[in-house]
Amino acid sequence: MSALLEAIDLVGGYGPVRVLHGLSFDVQPGEVVVILGANGAGKTTTLRALSGLLDDVKGSVKIEGEDVLGLRPDQIVRLGVAHVPQGRGTITDLTVEENLRLGAYVRRDADVQQDIEHWYSVFPRLGERREQPAGSMSGGEQQMLAIARALMSKPKLVLLDEPSLGLAPLVTRELFTRLGEINRTTGTAMLVVEQNANLALELAHRGYVLETGQIVAGGSASELKSDETVRKAYLGY
Ligand code: ATP
């Protein structure tokens, strides 16, 4: 069986600025995989390369065996990969419900409203605020909205770029608990880029360490947690 997502020898960046130096990794169906790395290691750039947002990239990206490098972002969403960008990317002037509806733009089925109600039951604060502009909500609520909006496309894989950024520790913990529940109940795979390595390795099944555009370590979450170099550099003990 082919991987859900496979990146092979990605090289790319922004014009003369080379950020990705030949990295390869994969995500299997239903898996939560974390990419750890310091500021500027290339985590955001990697996710952008996967979802068709990076023009200057070579190598290969496969979704269920199909080569997708060069496809537009909306074509990647249609193939089942949704991106929750750093800073959330919710449309602040639109209501919560309008944002969720936007997440379903690739769908043609009749179950969109039913799914919106489902995500309101998973994230009750979104349901309570369905008529409010997204921009009026707290950072944590906006992050939940961004995640629910991505899930509205019924993805096989969600790319999450620093979901904890700017959130209080308790809110972050609640968010990660929800992500774990969503993974277990829906089987949606997740590729998470995260500075909070301790929390990310609690959620993830497997992980990679990215340094200056290259994968320098990889293994199961428990292997990474017990690796001395990873512990010292990313886990703080
Ligand atoms: P962070 O945690 O700070 O977001 P990151 O690991 O996600 O870091 P990237 O955002 O992928 O790192 O950035 C990797 C490198 O690419 C950095 O040196 C950054 O300055 C550079 N970079 C990012 N975006 C651009 C851009 N649009 N143009 C030029 N260089 C960029």
Buried b (16+ CB within 10 A) or exposed e, 182-193: bbeeeebbbbbb
Residue 113 pLDDT more than 80? Answer: yes
Q: Is the CB of 55 under 6 A from ligand 1?
A: no
Structural domains of the chain ordered from first start: 5-90+159-235 (3.40.50.300)
Q: What is the pLDDT of residues 66-103, one digit of tens each?
A: 999 999 999 999 999 999 998 777 888 999 999 999 99
Q: Which residue has the tokens 């733009």?
A: 105
- Cβ atoms of 18 and 37 closer than 8 Å: no
Average pLDDT over every residue of 147-154 = 96
Note the pTM of the prediction, 2 decimals: 0.95
Q: In the 3-class helix/strand/coil scheme, how is 116-167 assigned residue by residue? A: HHHHHHHCHHHHHCCCCEHHHCCHHHHHHHHHHHHHCCCCCEEEEECCCCCC
Mutate to test the pocket of ligand 1, among 11, 14, 51 (most ligand atoms within 8 A of CB): 14
Q: Is the CB of 196 under 6 A from ligand 1?
A: no
Mean of pLDDT over the chain: 94
Confidence of residue 106 (pLDDT cuts 50, 70, 90): confident
Average pLDDT over every residue of 187-216 = 94
* Per-residue pLDDT at 69: 95
% residues pLDDT > 90 (the chain): 85
- Cβ atoms of 188 and 155 closer than 8 Å: yes
Phi-psi region of 101 (alpha: psi -120 to 50; beta: other; left: phi over 0): alpha
Q: What is the pLDDT of residues 10-39, one digit of tens each?
A: 999 999 999 999 999 999 999 999 999 988
* Per-residue pLDDT at 75: 95
**How do strand 206-211 and strand 189-193 relate by DSSP bridges?**
unpaired
* Per-residue pLDDT at 139: 92
* Per-residue pLDDT at 90: 83
d(CA 202, CA 179): 11
d(CA 8, CA 61): 6
